[in-house]
Amino acid sequence: MSATSPHGDPSVDFLPFTRPSIDEQTIAGVVEVLRSGWITTGPWNARFEQALSEYFGGRTVRAFSSGTVTMEIALRMMGVGPGDEVITTPLSWVATANVILAVGARPVFVDIDPRTRNLDAARVEAAVGERTRVLLPVHLAGLPCDLDALYALAQRHGLRVLEDAAQAIGSRWRGRRVGAFGDYASFSFHPNKNATSIEGGCLVLPPDADPALAERYRLQGVRRFGVDGMDVDLVGGKANLTDVAARVGWGQLQQVDAFNARRRELALAYFAHFDALGLEARGVLLPPRDETDSNWHMFQVVLPPQVPRADVMQALKQRGIGSGVHYPPIHLFSLYRKLGFAPGDFPHAERVGSGILTLPLFPDMRDADVPRVAQALSAVLRESGV
């Protein structure tokens, strides 16, 4: 046994930037599902959807096999397709824009507010045109977008809203839970998110949306009736959530508020340590701290432009600390350049995207990990002359 590791495994000393917390009750629950004889979509999927509905203030919720397919189905339910435009942010996981292309529509990017790193609501109006159908804001790192401004604008122009809330379970906007109000909201349960079902997602539906339509898009367009009747009237996919996954997701949902409270505690500790180290005065941008309603999905700093991020990541790794990049700007990927986007189009997203660095933050982190990361980052930056 190593002196530093209770498990005799030296790799446990490496601090990843995130790690899911799966409790023993959930593990036992999964074993029960596996033994039950029903392992794909069934009673646990229904129970998970019901629990999600309660979490989102009684709204209608359907679960899917990923956050990506959830958003794609939402766009299909709104009837978005070729000739339509969807306004979104260039600073997100590429899934956000890929689903717009997947339904045959065109993404229209609007630059971010460099402080919040979210879509700059003040710039959205200028991007609205004849073909605009949907606003697709992303609550990056769990920090809610300005939903007052975005919903007011949507109403003025007769647009639908699909909130990419993949990272925002448990976040609040003016005291109300994201997803508990508004139009469509899509969540992800990927293992990196604040609650996981291994892979999975869910869609909160507005009152005018038909949940049976969501179910048909989820499973081959199938509609069943009577004892033995079946019809197919649209092209659906294969996007159902297994009961094994739903059992994991249900167990996580019981804990997500506690997970988020622990994340907040750790985030506040990061601010205290970075303040003591004078990081902001040294040119490092910290996340906004005056907003109290983030679920702290990630704690991300933006490095000064002259600091090579790859070197910082390597140096942190040598000190046993993982870090991540979330995200390079979408419009600079080759697929999007082929559509006509180019460097310089969205300067704030480009600047933030080139310097952003995700630091370790997850509920099972120990208190002592925070000063360890803060001091390591400070020391590594000193080596770069910052």
Ligand X SMILES: *Cc1c(COP(=O)(O)O)cnc(C)c1O
β-bridge pairing 172-173 and 176-177: antiparallel
φ, ψ dihedrals at 189, nearest 5°: -120, 30
Annotated catalytic residue, options 193, 238, 317, 338: 193
Sheet-wide strand order for 160-164 = 60-64, 201-205, 184-188, 160-164, 132-136, 85-88, 106-109
Site mask, ligand X, residues 96-125, x = CB under 6 A?
Answer: x-----------------------------
**Closest approach of Cβ 69 to ligand X, in Å?**
7
Residue nearer to ligand X on the CB measure, 190 or 247: 190
β-bridge pairing 160-164 and 132-136: parallel
Residue nearer to ligand X on the CB measure, 140 or 279: 140
Give, as ranges, the residues between 127 and 156 that touch ligand X (CB under 6 A).
138
The answer to whether residues 218 and 239 touch, using CB atoms and an 8 Å cutoff, is yes
Can you give the three-state secondary structure of 43-66, one letter per residue? HHHHHHHHHHHHHCCCCEEEEECC
Other C-beta atoms lying within 10 Å of the C-beta of residue 13: 11
Among 18, 26, 66, 196, binds ligand X (CB under 6 A): 66
Give, as ranges, the residues between 82 and 101 that touch ligand X (CB under 6 A).
92-93, 95-96
**Closest approach of Cβ 352 to ligand X, in Å?**
15
Q: Where are the alpha helices (DSSP H) in the chain?
A: 24-36, 43-55, 67-77, 95-102, 121-124, 147-157, 211-218, 243-276, 309-318, 334-337, 347-355, 369-383
The answer to whether residues 26 and 247 touch, using CB atoms and an 8 Å cutoff, is yes
| Residues 6+ away with beta carbon under 8 Å from 63 | 45, 48, 49, 52, 197, 200, 201, 202, 241, 246, 249
Q: Is 166 in the site for ligand X (CB under 6 A)?
A: yes
Among 20, 67, 170, 236, binds ligand X (CB under 6 A): 67
3-state secondary structure at position 386: coil
**Closest approach of Cβ 91 to ligand X, in Å?**
10
Site mask, ligand X, residues 285-314, x = CB under 6 A?
Answer: ------------------------------
Q: Is 41 in the site for ligand X (CB under 6 A)?
A: no
| Residues 6+ away with beta carbon under 8 Å from 127 | 87, 108, 110
Q: How many residues bind ligand X (CB under 6 A)?
A: 14
| Spatial distance between the Cα atoms of 81 and 103, rounded to a whole number of angstroms | 5
* Residue 193 annotated in active site: yes
Closest residue by beta carbon to ligand X: 67
- Which of the ranges 64-72, 227-235, 283-291, 300-308 carries the binding residues for ligand X, by CB under 6 A? 64-72
**Closest approach of Cβ 66 to ligand X, in Å?**
4
Q: Is 194 in the site for ligand X (CB under 6 A)?
A: no
**Closest approach of Cβ 50 to ligand X, in Å?**
21
Among 107, 144, 170, 201, binds ligand X (CB under 6 A): 201
Active-site annotation, residues? 193
**Contact positions vs ligand X (CB under 6 A):** 66-68, 92-93, 95-96, 138, 164, 166-167, 188, 190, 201
